[in-house]
Amino acid sequence: MVKTPIKTKSIGMKVTEGQYADLDREALACGKTVGEWCREVILANVNGYGPKSQHAGAPEAQAIMAELVALRTILLNVLFKHANGESLTAEEMQRLIERADTDKLKKAAERIRQNGRFN
């Protein structure tokens, strides 16, 4: 059984009543306390996965973006080969799909960060 590291450091910040209400609403929507939700969002940003909010970075939105990124990668590669008069073998297509699937979450997170949330 893997032990969870003990949390020994803390981070504090001041927010307005309205900001706290917004944070609380997002946390409740995710079934978390404000502290848990803030920790998750901050660490997700640090680790390159963007905000995890009910709206902008919801897992569903991130999954959709990841699939779109993978589909785009596959489509562009297939079209490029076709435009050059080449064809793909089943093995090449499988490798292309696997490569697109491997990178899709990271690339989606990058796109979300570059373009700002799904607002």
Please determine, for residue 112, whether its predicted confidence score (pLDDT) is greater than 90.
no
Q: Which pLDDT score, from 0 to 100, does residue 52 have?
A: 46
State the Cα–Cα distance between residues 11 and 9, nearest whole angstrom.
Answer: 7
Q: What is the pLDDT of residue 111?
A: 78
Where exactly are the structural domains of the chain? 15-47, 57-119
Q: What is the pTM of this model?
A: 0.48
- The phi, psi pair for 85, rounded to 5°, reads 75, 15
Q: What's residue 93's pLDDT?
A: 93
Please tell me what DSSP assigns to residue 57.
Answer: T
Amino acid at position 97, single letter: I
Q: Flag whether pLDDT at 115 surpasses 90.
A: no
